[in-house]
Each structure stands twice: as C-alpha cells, then as structure tokens.
Amino acid sequence: MNGVQVLLIDDEVGYTDALAKRLDRRGLSVTAADGGPQALEIMASKSFDVVLLDIKMAGMDGIKTLRAIKRRHPEVEVVMLTAHANTDIVISSLAMGAFDYLLKPADVEELGRKIEDAAMRKRSNSK
C-alpha cells in the first residue's frame, strides 16, 4: 500500500490522530482534516487516492462533505466511517458514490484492505 495518499476527515481529533499514526505505520501517506471545510481546502491543493470520511460531524456533516468531494473530485474513492449503523444514511452515501463504509472503531486490518481496494479501483478507473 506504499504511496497511497489518504485524507482522513473526522472532527474527533484524538481518534483522527491515533488512526492516522496506525495507518502511517502501514506505509500510507495520511493527511488529517478536522471537518468538511478544512478537507475541501486541503483537496484544492493536494490530490488523494482515498478519503476516509466520518458521517457524523458538527457543522458540515459527512453526507454534505461527500457530495462536495464527489462534485469537485469525482475520481477520489471515499470510505465512510460511522459509529451509528443507520442503514438509510449508509445507502444514501453509497448511492452518492461512496466506495464503501465501515463501523467505528474500524479494525485497522479491515480498514487497510478497504483502502487498498479503493486505491486499486481509483487507479483502474484513471487508466
């Protein structure tokens, strides 16, 4: 998974910091954002393969952020993260173009596989 650029978007800074360190140890290049507006600002100047996006965030929630990401960067694959298994929201996010979703706290092994699958799909769609 070396070389995969990941943007982690979550307003829980402690969770974001811990997860970013764990993913970084797996050879991923992780950038963290504490919400949708900051993430969109970062994405305006840097490209990513995969976005990990929390659904429940204060201010601009994950669904609004997903919509903005897909409108501006349709090639980026987005994996939704949620602590609340709300089937309607998950189905809605998949319909808007999310690659997949995982329940928080996500198992790092499973999350690593999702990131790898999403990065491979992005690369195959870019050809």
Query: Domain residue spans in the chain?
Result: 5-126
Model pLDDT, residue 16: 92
Alpha-carbon Rg for the chain, nearest whole angstrom, is 13
Per-residue pLDDT of the chain (127 residues; tens, 9 = 90+): 668 999 999 999 999 999 999 999 999 999 999 999 999 999 999 999 999 999 999 999 999 999 999 999 999 999 999 887 778 888 899 999 999 999 988 889 999 999 999 999 998 887 6
Q: How far is CA 27 from the centre of its chain?
A: 17
Superfamily designation of domain 5-126: Response regulator (3.40.50.2300)
The predicted pLDDT at position 84 comes to: 77
Among 2, 3, 7, residue whose Cα is nearest residue 72: 7
Looking at this protein, which amino acid is placed at residue 48? Answer: F
- What global pTM score does this model have? 0.94
Measured CA to CA, the distance from residue 111 to residue 23 in angstroms comes to 9
Quote the tokens at residue 51: 């976005």
